[in-house]
Amino acid sequence: MTARTSDPTRPDAVIARGPDLTDRLAYLVQDDLLHRTVYTDPELFDLEMQRVFGGSWVFLAHESEIPEAGDYVRRQMGKRQILIVRTEHGEVKGLLNRCTHRGTTLVPSEAGCAKRFVCPYHGWAFDLDGRIANLPVSDSYDRLHERPFDLGQVAIGIRAGFIFGTLAADPMPVDDWLGAAGPWLDLHVARYPGGRLKVQRRRIVQEFAANWKMSWDNAADGIHATFAHASYNTLGKSADTKTVLARNPAVTPMVSRTLGHGHCVVDQRPGIPDGPWSTMRPLPTRAEIEASLRERGETRREMFDLMTGDMINLSIFPNLIFVGNQIMVPEPVAPDRTRVAFYLTMAPEAPEEVDLMRLRVDEDFLSFGTPDDFEMFERVQEGLRVDEEEWIDISRGTGAGDVTGEDGLVTGTVASEAPMRAYLAEWKRLMSKPVPTTVRRARIEESRFMQTIRQRQMKREQNS
């Protein structure tokens, strides 16, 4: 349990910010209805940045992106820039990209390697673990012991190489938060030879003019693919390929499941008896890559299936979505603006042909399918501007196919909106009451600056 102090001038303050919204959200988010302002209200958006993207666990990076000491990547956590760093001792730290002097951002680049972080404004320098390493004119600071200048940090939790962070003062263990989603995350990693998955640092960034939650409404929506992706499905048919998206969602054996804490999964495997690779249409260099793989004697189905997605769409609320061979990370910018980062995942222990083909597969849907989704998001956001039409229906599947287990988790067809209702229930829980948050810091008592202050205090005491 973290010690509580509500004095905002203290660097170790634990503060629960904002109003109690319990009654208001009980009206806005109902069992089968959702109010339009959940997507449009600027005040709700600002509170989301505190309570959802600060008071809960948030995906930040993968360990393969920072393999060596000094490696770092810069990521977004709501409105905060976070540096995910590998220290000299191999630890993973999540440092606020903010100098503790005037607030200057320390690192302008998205990724790199450094021995320490130096503020370009006044020369303050910080070690990889966040401890202050150089404070110019340190003798001019009389109360350094009351104002520790180590970089602020977020709590870090890691599962299967995936790094999560939170500012919650007393967060639940990350494995408990993942809950039923944890084994699905492990399963995703286990398909890679040697259990080794590599996330590419270089990312593709796109934007859509709509609320970030549109990504979650869409993540487990099995019906939209038949209609929104009609052009993509036509491409598949023209190549005599039975893509998953073209199938009737009302008769497929594919299922969706809620996993607690807003997480969900769509398992398409029951509808693909011949495996994921059987759903892929012709792509550039596909024939050559397949031939090269067979020439080296590789005929295992799982190796060919590895060249495409595992057909398990796992979504970990609020910002980690697995789609095909890539990780999709929504980054909220404004109530009606969202940045999306796409990270390609690689299989370093597999033959090189596998990763070459994974590149082609990623280009395929990102080029032809993702624009369809973004267009729908923007059209929905535009429709939500109509004040007189206040409500959205989210009832699909309720009493019509959904099965609730003893654990309270729901299994339904891919046509069910149970995953949408489940993530909104978690959103409502997080948003209803102020969440106590705190900025963590490395100890400073052992620093040479603290020793200088102590020596000065001792001299004063001796002279008094």
Higher pLDDT, 210 or 450: 210
454 with 306, same domain: the answer is no
- Name 146's Cβ contacts closer than 8 Å, sequence gap at least 6: none
Q: Which pair of tokens denotes residue 306?
A: 């590895």
299 with 358, same domain: the answer is yes
Whether 110 is covered by a domain: the verdict is: yes
pLDDT of 23 above 80: yes
Amino acid sitting at position 52: V
pLDDT band at 238 (very low <50, low <70, confident <90, very high): low
Whether 35 is covered by a domain: the verdict is: no
299 with 224, same domain: the answer is yes
Q: Cα–Cα distance between 73 and 94 in angstroms, integer? A: 10
pLDDT of 205 above 80: yes
Which CA distances in Å does 430 have to 83, 262, 291? 25, 11, 51
Whether 37 is covered by a domain: the verdict is: no
> Is 63 within 8 Å of 171 (Cβ atoms)?
no
404 with 330, same domain: the answer is yes
DSSP string, 89-153: TS-EEEEESS-TTT---S--SSEEE-SSEE-TTT--EE-TTS-EEE-TTGGG-S-TTTS--SPPE
Instruction: Give per-residue pLDDT as tens, 338-377.
Output: 999 999 999 999 999 999 999 988 888 888 889 999 999 9
Name the residue among 190, 87, 161, 192 with its Cα closest to residue 442. Answer: 87
DSSP string, 23-80: HHHHHHB-SSEEETHHHH-HHHHHHHHHHTTTSS-EEEEEGGGS-STTEEEEEEETTE
314 with 397, same domain: the answer is yes
Instruction: Give per-residue pLDDT as tens, 420-439.
Output: 999 999 999 999 999 999 99
- CA 454, 457, 463, 464 dihedral sign is negative
> Is 58 within 8 Å of 166 (Cβ atoms)?
yes
Whether 48 is covered by a domain: the verdict is: no
Q: What percent of the chain has pLDDT over 90?
A: 67
- pTM to 2 decimals? 0.92
| Domain CATH for 94 | 2.102.10.10
pLDDT band at 179 (very low <50, low <70, confident <90, very high): very high
Higher pLDDT, 163 or 402: 163
154 with 122, same domain: the answer is yes
pLDDT of 1 above 50: no
Q: Cα–Cα distance between 21 and 24 in angstroms, integer? A: 5
Higher pLDDT, 190 or 230: 190
Instruction: Give per-residue pLDDT as tens, 441-460.
Output: 876 455 555 566 567 667 77
First vs last Cα of the chain: how many Å apart?
A: 40
pLDDT of 273 above 90: no
pLDDT at 173: 98
Q: What is the mean pLDDT of residues 264-283?
A: 87
Q: What is the mean pLDDT of residues 116-123?
A: 96
pLDDT at 139: 77
pLDDT at 460: 75
What's the domain range around 308?
179-432
Q: Cα–Cα distance between 135 and 239 in angstroms, integer? A: 65
Domain count for the chain:
2
Instruction: Give per-residue pLDDT as tens, 27-46.
Output: 999 999 999 999 999 999 99
Whether 453 is covered by a domain: the verdict is: yes
pLDDT at 2: 42
427 with 449, same domain: the answer is no
What ranges make up the beta strands (E) of 269-350? Answer: 312-316, 320-323, 326-334, 337-346
111 with 201, same domain: the answer is no
191 with 132, same domain: the answer is no
Whether 21 is covered by a domain: the verdict is: no
pLDDT of 3 above 70: no
322 with 267, same domain: the answer is yes
Poorest-pLDDT segment among 66-80, 144-158, 424-438, 449-463:
449-463
282 with 262, same domain: the answer is yes
Q: Which pair of tokens denotes residue 322?
A: 């697995």
Q: Cα–Cα distance between 225 and 230 in angstroms, integer? A: 7
Whether 1 is covered by a domain: the verdict is: no
> Does the bond joining 318 to the residue before it have cis omega, within 30 degrees of 0?
yes
Q: What is the mean pLDDT of residues 321-347?
A: 96
> Is 422 within 8 Å of 153 (Cβ atoms)?
no
Type and span of the H or E element at 89: none
| Domain CATH for 303 | 3.90.380.10
Name the residue among 373, 6, 39, 16 with its Cα closest to residue 220. Answer: 373
Write b or e for each residue in 35-65: b if 16 or more Cβ atoms lie within 10 A of its Cβ, otherwise e. bbbbbbbeebbebbebbbbbbbbbbbbbbbb
Q: Cα–Cα distance between 358 and 68 in angstroms, integer? A: 25
> Is 25 within 8 Å of 428 (Cβ atoms)?
yes
Whether 7 is covered by a domain: the verdict is: no
Name the residue among 307, 301, 315, 304 with its Cα closest to residue 266. Answer: 315
Amino acid sitting at position 107: V
339 with 412, same domain: the answer is yes
pLDDT band at 248 (very low <50, low <70, confident <90, very high): low
